[in-house]
Amino acid sequence: MNELVTFINLYLIPGLVIGSIYALGAVGISMIFGILRFAHFAHGDLMTIGGYGVLAAIALIPVNPLFLLPFGIALSIVCALAVDRFFYRPLRDLPTIYTVISSFGVALIFRAAVQLVWSSGNQVFQSGVRKPLVLFDTFRISALHAQAIVLTVVIAIALHLFLTRSKTGRSMRAVSDDPELAAIAGLDTEKVIRWTWIIGAALAATAGVFAGADTSMHPNLGWNLLLPMFAAAILGGIGKPMGAIAGGLIIGVAEETMTYPWFGAEPLISPSYKSAVAFSIMVVLLIFRPQGLFKGRLL
């Protein structure tokens, strides 16, 4: 029983938390690829921008970072729409590689801007030790971790309802399935693209705040999480937002549980190498099932 409690407290719950961060970031990557047909390598830095937006707000209003999340979301959305207008839109009629390379440049611009405004050091949202929540006198989970998991579930439900019930959501699915046919049918593809950036940037900012609050804010925060988020998007199926959420949770849990001492007293994989789990899953999927678990678009 003690081993089960230890496993849940120290491995499963942290896995769900990092999986939630991966999931929220992977949704935007998946949607952008599904609709705009390019891998957005600046998406991790959009997370960083959102986190620093909340960090700036908390310096003026010292409350729980979640209450200031709209500031980070707004900053990320503005940045996403701006780079789409001035960097990506002029390249849409060119081969995809031009936009992919441009996204690397945008990532560097975002990172340099963060370092210029907030410096390159580590910063925290709140200092001090916070007591965990205790459930059934056995399970311990921090308030931040509980908020991350619950909010991810709420976002997943809201996103599913938006994509399946709203007119804009159905338009986004139509453009993702066949952009040429959607344009011929009279759908406003530019509106769909704007909504794609808005949703992707908002979720990226939310993930950035959770990641920064769980550790600390620094300019490379989102960049360091980029490849696991791509792995999550590929696992779920490119162009499948709900698949990206599932993929993020699976990879997060897999990373943490692979460090559990399943055989003997030593971890199965050293915690310093757990990020290799995400890359291994990504490579295996690209070889044997490139369409992902939810049969998304082939890369």
Q: What is the pLDDT of residues 180-214, one digit of tens each?
A: 777 787 788 889 999 999 999 999 999 999 999 88
Task: Give the Cα separation of 110 and 94 in Å (integer).
Answer: 24
- What would the mean pLDDT of 208-231 be, rounded to a whole number? 92
H runs (alpha helix) in the chain: 2-7, 13-36, 43-60, 69-83, 96-118, 143-165, 167-177, 179-184, 189-214, 221-236, 241-257, 275-288
The H-or-E segment that residue 134 falls in is strand 133-135
In sequence order, what are the residues at sequence separation of 6 or more whose Cβ sits closer than 8 angstroms to the Cβ of residue 127? none
With b for 16 or more beta-carbon neighbours within 10 A and e for fewer, the 112-131 pattern comes to ebbeeebeeeeeebeeeeee
pLDDT in tens, 123-172: 988 765 567 667 666 777 788 888 899 999 999 999 999 988 999 888 88
Low-confidence winner among 6-20, 217-231, 271-285 (lowest mean pLDDT): 271-285
Average model confidence (pLDDT) across the chain = 88
Q: What pLDDT, on a 0 to 100 scale, did the predictor assign at position 70?
A: 94
pLDDT in tens, 106-124: 999 999 999 999 988 889 8
Task: Give the Cα separation of 99 and 294 in Å (integer).
Answer: 26
Between 266 and 228, residue with greater pLDDT: 228
Smallest CA-to-CA distance from 106 within 93, 119, 122, 91 is with 91
Cα Rg for the chain, rounded, in angstroms?
A: 19
- What would the mean pLDDT of 228-243 be, rounded to a whole number? 89
**pLDDT over threshold 60, residue 1:** no
Q: What pLDDT, on a 0 to 100 scale, did the predictor assign at position 193?
A: 92
**pLDDT over threshold 60, residue 69:** yes
Q: What pLDDT, on a 0 to 100 scale, did the predictor assign at position 140?
A: 77
**pLDDT over threshold 90, residue 81:** yes
Q: What pLDDT, on a 0 to 100 scale, did the predictor assign at position 215?
A: 84
**pLDDT over threshold 70, residue 297:** no
79 within 8 A of 110, measured Cβ to Cβ: yes
pTM of the model: 0.92
pLDDT in tens, 242-268: 999 999 999 999 999 888 888 877 888
